[in-house]
Amino acid sequence: MSHFKQRIGKKRGVVGVIFRDEKLLIIRRSLTVTAPGKLCLPGGTIEKGETEEFALVREMQEELTIDVSPVRLVWRSVTPWGTTLAWWLAHLDADVTPVPNPDEVSEYRWMNSDDICAAREMLPSLPEFIQAVRAREVELDFAF
């Protein structure tokens, strides 16, 4: 019984994988949230009753005031603290400019894989994702 409760109680999150000109949308977390000041991809907790796709759309709207269209699931991972993450490729119209919600995001950047690998202060899932892309564990429609 306790094993079942533990499995059900694990948190689930969704991550937005959003490209523009073969650069990835990266955020810096605000200083008032968990892991303050860290670089990561935008995303958040999947609430009870939400699909991954719905949570993706909601989180992008909450964090960056952008409307995205989920394309497909590209990867799954588990954080060191036990949260299962669903990494979703999402489409953002080319003329849309993200507007960070200062309660959650201090800034955003468009970064290529070399920029990301050279950056400091990032959540551990970000370099793991880049490694998975480079190892072709993540299928994208272009080289990144």
* CB distance 127 to 119 below 8 Å: no
Confidence (pLDDT) at 34: 86
Domain of residue 56, CATH code: 3.90.79.10
**1 is a domain residue:** no
Q: What are the φ and ψ backbone dihedral angles of 93, each rounded to 5 degrees?
A: -55, 140
End-to-end CA distance of the chain: 44
Domain housing 74: 8-134
Point out the residues of the chain with pLDDT beneath 70. 1-9
Confidence (pLDDT) at 18: 98
**Distance in angstroms (rounded) separating the CA atoms of residues 100 and 66:** 9
**Distance in angstroms (rounded) separating the CA atoms of residues 87 and 75:** 5
| Domains in the chain, number | 1
Place of tokens 């955020």: 27
Strand partners, 18: 90
Q: At 104, list the tokens.
A: 């959650």
Q: Give the DSSP H/E element, type plus range, for residue 62.
A: helix 52-64
**107 is a domain residue:** yes
> Which amino acid belongs to residue 122?
M
- The neighbour count for residue 20, using CB atoms within 10 Å, is 12
**Distance in angstroms (rounded) separating the CA atoms of residues 50 and 52:** 6
Confidence (pLDDT) at 81: 84
**3 is a domain residue:** no
Q: At 102, list the tokens.
A: 């200062």
Instruction: Name which of 82, 75, 70 is nearest 135 in CA terms.
Output: 75
Confidence (pLDDT) at 5: 37
- Give the predicted TM-score (pTM) of the model: 0.90
